[in-house]
Amino acid sequence: MVLEREMEDEDEEEQEAMLKKQGGGDDNSKDTPPPSPLSSLWSRKMMVEEVARRLNNGDLKAKIEAARDIRRLVRKSSDSNSKSAVRCRFAAAGVIEPLVSLLQRSFPLAAREAALLALLNLAARNQRNKIRIVTAGAVPPLVELLKYENGNMRELAAAAILSLSSAASNKPTISASGAALLLIQVLCSGSVQGRVDAVTALYNLSTCEEEPKPVLDAKAVPPLINLLKECKKYSKFAEKTTFLLEIFSGSEEGRSAITNVDGGILTLVETVEDGSSVSMSHAVGALLSLCQSSRDKYRDLILKEGAIPGLLRLTAEGTPIAQDRARTLLDLLRNSPSEKRLTSSELESIVYDFAAHIDGKDKALETAKRLLHDMVQRSMELSFSHIKLRTSSCTTTVTERT
């Protein structure tokens, strides 16, 4: 199973566990004793001001140590309220701009890593700090670090993009930077944690309501499918993964990638059966996009993976959007001109078995009749709409000729 740690605002402890795990290298936390407990607000304020002074005015070695002290002081705070207060004090003391400056290519790797870890800790659960970090110009150097050959630095940069992209006002800036294509590279070749972070960052960027939208590459589809195979279909991570797969299903390259991955369609079908209401809706949306783009090409592939029971369940239990998508897809699967299409008796048998499973044999007949009625009604509505559309088209043509 993939690691289900997702660095979100409501998950601070897991977020900091990740920071501790990935913050090795030049941290020297084992060799340097942690600062002694601060006994009062005044002493904490003095400590923050002293660290800020060294970061702003010291030589490079002092700046690096100051950045490491910021990280330590945030992490060593006793509870979430204390951590929040320390983050706010450091931001007010003016540490964000000099930390962002240390991310530049002109500084050695030790300085860039120390600054990045400090910024990650300052950004955690603090939307204002996230916005300040992007405003201070952090995105371009983070994009440069996403290109870095050092795996740890690249994945720390991906984690930073993930954290910063959770603030709505940051999304357009990050999308415009070209970070999405570099995150897809992490998704394709990074560690499990790096891939999970890349998925969540891509999800954050893809939910941006403003322009520009992130540029995505269908190379992301195989690792997305593989991660969806491994994770719990009802998890938050599955919801983000299926959201992205639904986006990719809207392009020919994405559809081809989904079908070319071993078990690609099956994984979506399994999510329709076992996912949360959100991941079910996205999964059936992706299957529907495939079938609507070319029913002859995708219908048999979807039927072969046993999609009917899950779709029937959605027509009874899904959200309104999922129900509509499931019914539309069932219509496409049933009404195909293919010689292999389901017969009425086969469909009735499937519906009855499903009804018996969800409501028991006593109520199965009644439930099956209702489901079949809904499906027939939907089919009639679609047929009537098509007839109206054709009639309107013919009337327009006759009028034009007259």
Look at the block and give the residue holding tokens 């994770």.
231
CA angle 342, 343, 347 (to 5 degrees): 75
Domains of the chain: residue spans and CATH: 1-31+41-163 (1.25.10.10)
The pLDDT, as a whole number, for residue 370 is 73
Euclidean distance between CA atoms 380 and 42, whole angstroms: 74
**C-alpha neighbours within 13 Å on the C-beta side of residue 13:** 4
Q: What is the pTM of this model?
A: 0.79
Q: What is the DSSP letter of 3?
A: -
Q: Read out DSSP for 223-262?
A: HHHHHHHHS-TTSHHHHHHHHHHHHHTTSHHHHHHHHHST
Residue 77, pLDDT score: 83
> Is the model more confident about 65 or about 390?
65
Among 200, 257, 256, 203, residue whose Cα is nearest residue 225: 257
Highest-confidence segment of 6-15, 147-156, 165-174, 347-356: 165-174
pLDDT band at 398 (very low <50, low <70, confident <90, very high): very low
Query: What is the reported pLDDT for 120?
Result: 97
Q: Which two tokens stand for residue 44?
A: 């904490």
270-285 mean pLDDT: 97
* Helices and strands in the chain, H and E counts: 22, 0
Alpha carbons 191 and 181: distance in angstroms, whole number? 17
> In the chain, what are the helix, strand and coil shares in percent, each to the nearest 5?
75, 0, 25
- CB 333, CB 308: distance < 8 Å: yes
Across 42-46, 260-264, 314-318, least confident range: 42-46
Q: What is the DSSP letter of 335?
A: S
Asked whether the predicted pLDDT for residue 270 surpasses 80, the reply is: yes
Tell me: the pLDDT tens digits for 120-171?
Answer: 999 999 999 999 999 999 999 999 999 987 789 999 999 999 999 999 999 9
pLDDT band at 20, cuts 50/70/90?
very low
Q: Which two tokens stand for residue 300?
A: 């048999």
